[in-house]
Every structure is written in structure tokens, then in C-alpha cells.
Structure 1
Amino acid sequence: MATDVVELILEDHRRFEELFRQLRDRNSDRSALLGELAALLVAHAEAEESEVYPALKRYKEVDNDEVDHGAEEHAEGHQALLALMEITDTESEEWESKLEELVEALNHHVDEEERTILNDAREQVADERREELGKLFLEIRQDRLDDDCGDISYVRRVAADTKDRID
């Protein structure tokens, strides 16, 4: 299993994209898929913000403004995720609309993060340090998953705690 933090983050990004494809399928178990997405998304963002982003900000070649912007986009993603989770009818047009808002917010974030932060990290951070950060990322992500971070009450708390980043 890879432990390079850049590769681990990219793997999660590809999983988000796959979950979005499945969530768009009206014949899928949207509630179960949304639960999986919520858990992975929250755990991923919290692991990035607690260890990866602060570490990357210490490298002068990594753009601190981009790292801060990434955290702002996580907050926007949490808001969009919560808005979707609060709609119980997964067949409704409102649910479809909120799903597309979440997809748009996350795709925008993923694209920017991959082009800026992750490219900088790949080029400027030593392999050994990326491995160390990868292990921390996995540990924190798993801790959050074990805490049931995909539960709507957890998502509400995270959304409330991060709302000030986007206001």
C-alpha cells in the first residue's frame, strides 16, 4: 500500500469521483453511497487540515495562500455535504440539485488542489517526508472514520465549526 501523502490524497480524490458517478445513478443505494462519501470526505479533509496542510506551509516553495484556500474549500464542501444530507428524499429534484452543488464544489477543489498544492508537494517535499505525512494522514483519517465522522450530527458540527472560513 502506498504511503506517499500525495498518492494517498489522489486515491481519495479518485474515490470521490467514483462515488459521484454512483450517486448520480438513480438505481443505486444513494443513502448508503452518501454515507460512504460523507465519511471519507470529512475524514480526508480533517486529516489534510490537521497534519498535511500545516506541514506543507513550512515549505517556502509551497504556496501558503493555496493551502489556506484549500481549507476554505473544505469548509464549502462541508456546507454542501450537509445540505445534501439534510434532504431525505433521494429521488427528489432538490436532492439532485444539492448533489450537483456538492459535485461542483468538490471537483473545483480537487482540480485546484491537484494543480497547486499537490504538485508543489511532489516537487518540493522530500520522499521521506511525504511518506511520514502519508502515515499521519492515514492514521488521522482512520481515527475520524472510527469516530463515525460521516454521521449527520458529526457533519453538522464540522460544518458549524468551519462556517466562519467562508463567511
Structure 2
Amino acid sequence: MDITDVIQHQHNEQRRMFAALEEWPRDDHEGLAAVWKRLAILLETHAEAEERYFYPELLRLGTGGADAESVEEEVEDAVHDHNEIRAAVRRVDEAETGSDEWWTAVVDANVHNSDHMGEEERQDLADFRQQATLELRHEIAVSFLRYESLKAATGIPSVDKDPDEYIDEHRTDAPSETAQRAAQLAKDSATTDRAGDGPSLTASEDAD
């Protein structure tokens, strides 16, 4: 697994679910509410998982991808975007399903989320692919998906985060537990590979 692939896949799923809402029968309020609930849980848990597991490692290793001036700008923008998405999700949840107010909030959520995903794919994911090892990307993906799976049925509270405070809290050069596990995984893999490269018996030696 690779966290950048996991995030990209979930972005595509979010796009598909917003598209499904756009094509859903407008008078099927029960169906609209069910589809929206599933999408809202995905949006909320995806954002929280990124903030717990992906962005801290990006802050530690990133250099600023594509048109981002720095990794701090990447993460600050991402957390700010998450707050805008959360606010739109709350407006949807507060409105009557299928009403004009509800649809306006759904569109706002889609717009904010689409802008965020495009920027994240262009900057954050590209930056991390260039800087992080495959082992670290795997370890983050495991933690990320585990968290989402545990919260998938019930969702999580909607809590905004101050972007500057988030960066101050998570900016560090010290490797996290996830990074340490990834480093050990890489070391173990290298040891296994070297052991496999040792001399082997030829056919004649084996016969002796």
C-alpha cells in the first residue's frame, strides 16, 4: 500500500459520490440523505486521517511541491481547506434534505472539496512521492485506513483546526513512531535481500 495512492483513490471516490448526488432523483429525500451521510462521513474521516497521519510526515520531509512556496504553505492551505469543507458539511446537515438551502450547501462542499483535492494532488502528493520511502508510505497507509475503518459506521465530530497552530504543533525533525517502524521495515527488508544474495551450491557441488 502507498498512502499517496490511497488518498488519490479516495479523492476519486468523493468525486463519484458528488456526481451521484447530482444525478439522484430530486424527490427521493431518503436516498439523498443516505448518500449524503455516507459521503459526509468519508469527507470528515478522510480529512481527520490526513491531519493525524499524512500531514505530520509531509511537514517533516516535504520541500514544497509544484507551485507551493514551501511545505508549510502546502499544509497550511490543506488544513484551511478542511475547515471550509467541514463548515459546508455542517450547513448541509443543518438544512432540510432536498431543500434549496441543502443543495446550495452540497454544491459549496463540492466546490471547496474539488479545489482542495486538485491542489493536494498537484502539491502535497507529488511532494511526498519524491521525498518519502515506500516503507513509510506503506506504514502511513495502514494507520490511515485503520482509523477510517474504525470510524466508518458512526463518523466523527466536526472540529476545525487553526492552521498555524497545527503547523507549530507538528513541525519537527524527529522521526515519528510511524517513521521508525518504516525505517525498521526497510532495514529488515535489506537484510533479507542480502541473505538471499549469498552463494548457492552449484549442481555438481550439491551432488557431492
Q: Distance in 2 between matches of 1:56 and 1:89?
A: 38
Q: Does 1:58 align with 2:60?
A: yes
**TM-score (structure 1 length as normaliser):** 0.85
SS in 2 for 1:81: helix
Check whether the contact 2:62–2:128 (CA below 8 A) recurs between aligned residues.
no
Structure 1 equivalent of residue 160 of structure 2: 162
Q: Distance in 2 between matches of 1:139 and 1:26?
A: 31
Structure 2 equivalent of residue 93 of structure 1: 100
**Radius of gyration: which is bigger?**
2
1:124-155 Cα offsets, whole Å, 9 max, x none, are: 11111111111111111122224x11xxxx4x
Check whether the contact 2:95–2:102 (CA below 8 A) recurs between aligned residues.
yes
Aligned 1:5-16 pairs, distance under 5 A: 5-16=3-14
Tell me how far 1:85 sits from its aligned partner: 1.5
Tell me how far 1:113 sits from its aligned partner: 0.5
Q: Distance in 1 between matches of 2:9 and 2:111?
A: 19
User: What is the count of residue pairs matched by the alignment?
Assistant: 154
Amino acid at match of 2:103: E
Q: Does 1:71 align with 2:79?
A: yes
Over 6 Å off, 4+ runs: none
SS in 2 for 1:22: helix
Q: Distance in 1 between matches of 2:139 and 2:162?
A: 31
**TM-score (structure 2 length as normaliser):** 0.69
Structure 2 equivalent of residue 44 of structure 1: 46
Q: Distance in 1 between matches of 2:57 and 2:7?
A: 15
Check whether the contact 1:75–1:165 (CA below 8 A) recurs between aligned residues.
no
The alignment's C-alpha RMSD in Å is 1.8
Q: Distance in 2 between matches of 1:165 and 1:67?
A: 8
Amino acid at match of 1:106: N
Q: Which has the higher helix share?
A: 1
1:92-146 Cα offsets, whole Å, 9 max, x none, are: 2222211111110000000110000011011111111111111111111122224
Structure 2 equivalent of residue 133 of structure 1: 140
Describe the shift of the 1:38–1:4 C-alpha distance in structure 2 as closer, same or farther (beyond 3 A): same
Structure 1 equivalent of residue 120 of structure 2: 113
Q: Distance in 2 between matches of 1:129 and 1:76?
A: 29
Structure 1, unaligned runs of 5 or more: none
Amino acid at match of 2:19: R
Describe the shift of the 1:102–1:60 C-alpha distance in structure 2 as closer, same or farther (beyond 3 A): closer
